[in-house]
Structure 1
Amino acid sequence: MNQDILFADIQTWDAKRQAVSFPAQQAGALIDCWVSLGWLQQRTAGTLVNEADILSAFIHLRFDLEDLAEEKIEDEDFEPDGSVVIG
């Protein structure tokens, strides 16, 4: 794991965006990372309908998500708003 990129143990469900947000920090800069509900449902092979189940799925997949987000940050694969999106 690259120690230059740190992930806080924080995750927030955004119903409007239908995605979970989790922050990363690189060289003091905060980077919003997002994973879509669809991506989580594909990886859990289930329908996630409430916030508790969605966040539980995220927590279960956290290390894989952090690895994917780290790759995107290192590759500078950012969205126009500076965020990183998985799925």
Structure 2
Amino acid sequence: MNQSILFPDLQEWDPQTQSIVFPVQVQGANIECRISLDKLSLLSSIYFEQDNEQLEASVLAVFDEYRFDIEEEVEMLIEQDSFDEQGRVTLI
């Protein structure tokens, strides 16, 4: 793992964009990262019901379970300078 890329154990569910938002520190700079619900479903092979009262808890638990794979993909995108127009790394 690249030592100049650090992933703090912080994440939150954004119901408006249906994505998990989490930070990454790259050489001391904070960069916002997002993974869409669809991408998380594809990665985990788990279907999330949108009207489920426990959606946030379920999504965050699956994110935590697949965190290492997600971080590897984000790290690869950062090394390729694959940022969106807002300077974020987004997995969709």
Displacement after TM superposition at 1:17 (Å): 0.8
Quick one: percent identity of the two aligned structures?
Answer: 40
Q: Which whole-Å CA distance do the structure 2 matches of 1:69 and 1:37 have between them?
A: 16
2:33 corresponds in structure 1 to 33
1:16 corresponds in structure 2 to 16
Asked if 1:60 is matched to 2:60, the reply is: no
Asked if 1:76 is matched to 2:81, the reply is: yes
1:3 corresponds in structure 2 to 3
* TM-score scaled by length of structure 2: 0.90
Q: Which whole-Å CA distance do the structure 2 matches of 1:2 and 1:12 have between them?
A: 24
* TM-score scaled by length of structure 1: 0.95
Q: Unmatched 5+ residue regions in structure 2?
A: 50-54
Aligned residues: 87
Displacement after TM superposition at 1:35 (Å): 0.4
Displacement after TM superposition at 1:42 (Å): 1.6
Q: Unmatched 5+ residue regions in structure 1?
A: none
What is the RMSD of the two structures over their aligned residues, measured on CA atoms?
0.9
